[in-house]
Structure 1
């Protein structure tokens, strides 16, 4: 059995698909030390540069003094802290929905939301480029799983019209993690209202980044649409929020159903209360520091202008996720390694994370980057293109 595993791992290396774990020595930052070497990094989802913010560090320390370190139990036993409760109320108010429920990770949040709401007799409609957690949740639910072409509302409409299932759920990333493009949120919600289906939006990469206040991808909706009973909103708290965890926000009956039937909620120890305490400060920084989103927009525009002449396709994205398509995995790995030689870290993304023939460099920007950082990366890529 070990020989079989070793052979499969060797084949993965030969295909340019083998992954290794870089060891980061110190906090998240555009300038990091990895495996003993200094790098200019474009590989973090710390979009607002909050992961090492002094106010959050102090809030963590204050939370530890007030609540200790571990939660000790699941939320349903004795692990639901006052800090968790206060954060849930703050998150619901922040995104404009009646209730919110905390989870340890976005993966767990998606698994709970999907599997608690639909089952064998139901149907799930999913964008073909959805995150793995949404796909895994759909499979675990045992509902019929129908995928529609990426961002194709016409195809989704036809599939919704063709089903007679009583309970229907549409699941979609709000910002797609590998392409950086955005789902047509208003159009998705309109279809769900028309066909009486739920819409679960995974806004892991939009929360904190999009909208005037950083409240995420729901900014494109009219105010009255935010309270639509069909809408279920999930976002993570370890990316733009700079800490850890995730939440689901929706109408009260949906949240109560997740509390009662969400297996990844009820059967796991609650996250440390100190994290929830720190996230209350994070929400304040997200809302008050609009300059961070403005900085991100400036840097994104500068990078896109710089990279347009390159021979590799820069996919259309207005978010901090800027994918440079190479096609073959070996080419993505070659560019990744060549940039590392110059002290620049940009991860090569390969199948199965992306479809075959769609390997790319995934450039992730942070408000903590500078224009000098952007120009250094651009110059290095242009030099690689010439040679």
Structure 2
């Protein structure tokens, strides 16, 4: 290894460790369900995005295996050449049905969905109004587009209106987009889409909602846009197929013209091999389950409400979350790391969320209750939280 590189890596890794910013990566020995096993220890899992418990559900596994036997383990090419199989077409039709749009396009991940979709439409001649707490993939997608990025104060509709007015009246931009998460993953708050749409209509903004944590959770599972009844007002409905859906991938749902353009100009779609047939079939099975069984989403929300109420009862401070995402706010990064380690030692698996995922001084333990947690599991986790919280003088 180059001596320059070695010195750089060593010094910066040591710096991260001293600041409590270097997370360990644990290896699961079984599926990512409500109970997981790491290094032989079984623990209650409160760190997963597998909201509905679908990642290991039999219907999805059966669909995956059947499609793999029929179509093979890989698509064999990028989508525009001959990597579009019938199962990909079926998946995109299912996503459009699920989201209530004319059409949809599937990408290989939510991250490269944002990288590809934003830059396919926005250019250096344009401006993007972006909520300051948007996900890293949105930030990177905006940067890749070359558009002028204008940060909007988090959930501040007055600031959005003012900046939309300034950008519009400047005459500097051909197009202006407003982009926001539907559900903000670190705090669990929900975007104020009704007010954002009013501003967008007033100033002729393109609207883009990244609903990675809303799909399968909000709007009876259909997402945050559906929750507010704004399917005909939002231009881009983006989401992932890897969280509540339980598989892998990302998508944009919208008009036929938009999807046709993204298939012509979305670089990850054009230059990276398609989703596997098995993953595509599993996603279809998952979307069918959500549409056929709205009670699954209700069960998720019931568990989240129960867990939040009990954490607050024993004295923990939670962020103002309007979703199942349940962050326990601690602030100090080292204290957050210590608390996480103690919880894991006592059989509750959670991860510390620290800078750069969240701003410095806002460290937290983010809990993700799942539909498949039993009340007994949640009670056990609450007991551990109380025990460790008192040991560390946090409550």
Look up the match of 1:306. Answer: 310
**Shift, 1:36, TM fit:** 2.7
TM-score normalised according to structure 2 size: 0.94
Q: Is the 8 A contact 1:59 1:278 kept in 2?
A: yes
**Shift, 1:311, TM fit:** 5.1
Instruction: Report the Cα distance in structure 2 between the residues aligned to 1:186 and 1:97, rounded to whole angstroms.
Output: 18
Q: Is the 8 A contact 2:219 2:228 kept in 1?
A: no
Which of 214, 222, 226 aligns to 1:215? It is 222
For structure 1, the 5+ residue unaligned runs are none
Tell me the number of residue pairs that the alignment of Structure 1 and Structure 2 aligns. 383
For structure 2, the 5+ residue unaligned runs are none
Look up the match of 2:340. Answer: 336
Which of 169, 182, 199 aligns to 2:177? It is 169
Which of 305, 319, 325 aligns to 1:321? It is 325
Q: Is the 8 A contact 1:55 1:281 kept in 2?
A: yes
**Shift, 1:291, TM fit:** 2.0
Instruction: Report the Cα distance in structure 1 between the residues aligned to 2:335 and 2:195, rounded to whole angstroms.
Output: 37
Q: Deviations over 1:91-112 (max 9, x none)?
A: 1111111110000000111111
1:290 equivalent to 2:294? Answer yes
Q: Deviations over 1:274-299 (max 9, x none)?
A: 21112111111111222221111211
**Shift, 1:320, TM fit:** 1.8
Instruction: Report the Cα distance in structure 1 between the residues aligned to 2:268 and 2:202, rounded to whole angstroms.
Output: 31
Instruction: Report the Cα distance in structure 2 between the residues aligned to 1:386 and 1:183, rounded to whole angstroms.
Output: 35
Matches within 5 A, 1:76-95: 76-95=80-99
Instruction: Report the Cα distance in structure 2 between the residues aligned to 1:326 and 1:312, rounded to whole angstroms.
Output: 9
1:203 equivalent to 2:211? Answer yes
Instruction: Report the Cα distance in structure 2 between the residues aligned to 1:4 and 1:207, rounded to whole angstroms.
Output: 41
Instruction: Report the Cα distance in structure 1 between the residues aligned to 2:366 and 2:268, rounded to whole angstroms.
Output: 30
Look up the match of 1:377. Answer: 381
Aligned CA-pair RMSD? 1.2
Look up the match of 1:119. Answer: 123
Q: Deviations over 1:121-172 (max 9, x none)?
A: 1000111110000001111111100111111111000000011322011111
Look up the match of 1:52. Answer: 56
TM-score normalised according to structure 1 size: 0.96
Q: Is the 8 A contact 1:310 1:385 kept in 2?
A: no
Worse-matched range after superposition: 322-331 or 253-262:
253-262
1:64 equivalent to 2:71? Answer no
Worse-matched range after superposition: 319-328 or 372-381:
372-381
Q: Is the 8 A contact 1:189 1:231 kept in 2?
A: no
Q: Deviations over 1:9-38 (max 9, x none)?
A: 011101001122110111111111113321
Q: Is the 8 A contact 2:99 2:226 kept in 1?
A: no
